Amino acid sequence: MRTRVTAALVCAALLAAGCTEKTTGAAKAIAAPPTTTAPSVSVTTPPVSPDTSQPASADFPSSIPSTRATEPTRPTPLPATVKCDYVTDTGGSPAKVVAKPGGQASSTGTQTVALITGVGQISIKLNRALAPCTVNNFLSLARQGYFDNTTCHRMTTVDTLQVLQCGDPTGQGTGGPGYSFDDELFDGMTYGRGIVAMANAGPNTNGSQFFIIYGDSSALQPTYTIFGSVDEASLQVIDTVAKSGVNPTNGPGDGPPVMPVTIASTTIN
């Protein structure tokens, strides 16, 4: 099943086409399936020069907003510790075998995970106050090397949905970790440039796929769990990828980026 971000217009096809995971993914709509503090992991892999050649059929964003969005806040804080249920999928096989996270998660503090890619570093600040079970899951996957040697398989460049989607070891938008967990939504949740959210294939189908919003996100409904944000330097890396275009295999402005984004490893700070 695929996980995607669904923009009711673009995403139904978008998401369904490359956005779901349990697919649980972030976007077919971006629905798709698409963590505690870990010690620092040193990474010495230098960035490699990406192939910037552009196929004649590539699609490009008409414009990219420059202002970063402010992370939303929950109207009512969560308890200091929350219970998380990670439910084993009964059908299909995991894209990469990993252990499920523990069932208790803190709802305070932040943690930064750096994705070391061939086009530059993308740093995600995870915010437990927004989505403790999602952060608990992301850190668990990162510690187990789940994201290592995987590609960000989908990028959208349409005016109302500009995201980079990652987290599927199969690179097809259909892979997940072999389990799913519930959404962590709240009133007043809004998206925008720099926000990181889970892709899904419908309510409570989160797994491993996530998306980073680099531009407009007005097509998104508030059904994708927000669990952090990226800094300006990371957005500049993603902007460069977006400006190189996408191969529109899922529909206009939706498909794998022309400039491949391969996550070589992750560092937890």
User: Per the domain annotation, does 78 fall within a domain?
Assistant: no
Contact in structure between 214 and 242 (CB atoms under 8 Å): yes
- Could you tell me if residue 166 is left (phi over 0), alpha (psi between -120 and 50 degrees) or otherwise beta? beta
Instruction: Note the pLDDT tens digit of each residue in 122-135.
Output: 999 999 999 999 99
249 domain residue, yes or no: yes
The residue among 169, 149, 183 whose CA lies nearest residue 21 is 169
In a domain, 31, yes or no: yes
CATH number, position 242: 2.40.100.10
Q: From CA 264, how far away is CA 136, in angstroms rounded?
A: 21
Pairwise pLDDT comparison (174 vs 52), residue with the higher score? 174
If one counts the domains in the chain, the total is 1
Which is nearest to 31 in space by CA: 217, 255, 210, 254? 210
- Whole domain around residue 50: which residue ranges? 3-62+94-268
Determine the Cα–Cα distance for residues 71 and 192; give it in Å rounded to an integer.
Answer: 9
**Dihedrals phi, psi of 145, to nearest 5 degrees:** 75, 20
Is residue 241 pLDDT above 70, yes or no? Answer: yes
In a domain, 86, yes or no: no
Mean pLDDT, residues 204-230: 98
Q: Please give the mean pLDDT across all residues of the chain.
A: 86
Q: What is the pLDDT of residue 91?
A: 84
- Considering the domain boundaries, does residue 70 fall inside one? no
Query: What is the model's pTM?
Result: 0.83
pLDDT of 92: 84
In a domain, 85, yes or no: no
For residue 18, pLDDT over 90 is answered with no
